[in-house]
Amino acid sequence: MPPSTIRNVGVIVGSLRKESFTRKIANAIAKLAPASLKLEIIEIGQLSSYDPDLENTPPADWVAFRQKVTAVDAVLFATPEYNRSVPGVLKNAIDVASRPHGKSAWNGKPGAVVSVSPGAIGGFGANHHLRQMLVFLNIPAMQQPEAYIGGADKLFDASGDVTSESTREFLKKFIEAFAAWIELHLAARK
């Protein structure tokens, strides 16, 4: 990759909660990203529910979201775990950008998953349900390092910054590995 090449990474945060641990982790990862990556959260809270009957005249929010996903080079999914899976708002966003059939905005974009939970297993169920979807969507998901961030309720200071040095180090390694993963897969598509 030429030194001046910046890869745009769309960050999809699966939590709408104002003080979301998942959004805080996504923001922490963005701060730790190498200069070759520009991470930007693509908001999903405003998306209308997916309904195939609306495809002939898709809602403006669908069109805008699909355009944003299409425009990025790669996608980082940050998800909490709800009932051992991803939140409905995240599933809806995935469905909206995967349609209409044959025109998925996700197709071929390198991806990575980080799951976040106050619990000890760090959203393992949500992480793996999401990975199942990514296989179908043809998003080559980075396998290692896996990112399950547990104990999230104890990781942040009042400003939302990560207080754990080991977590910061892990997140830095994670985003650096993702930068390499992106280059590997974008080169393979040429």
Q: 122 near 115, Cβ under 8 Å?
A: yes
Q: Hey, what domains does the chain have and what are their CATH numbers?
A: 7-189 (3.40.50.360)
pLDDT of residue 1: 47
The answer on pLDDT for 92 being more than 50 is: yes
The answer on pLDDT for 2 being more than 60 is: no
Closest CA to 162 of 151, 173, 178: 151
Where does the pLDDT of residue 188 fall: very low under 50, low under 70, confident under 90, or very high at 90 and above?
confident
pLDDT digits (tens, 9 = 90+) for 108-140: 999 999 999 999 889 999 999 999 999 999 999
Q: 79 near 123, Cβ under 8 Å?
A: yes
pLDDT digits (tens, 9 = 90+) for 27-86: 999 999 999 999 999 999 999 999 999 999 999 999 999 999 999 999 999 999 999 999
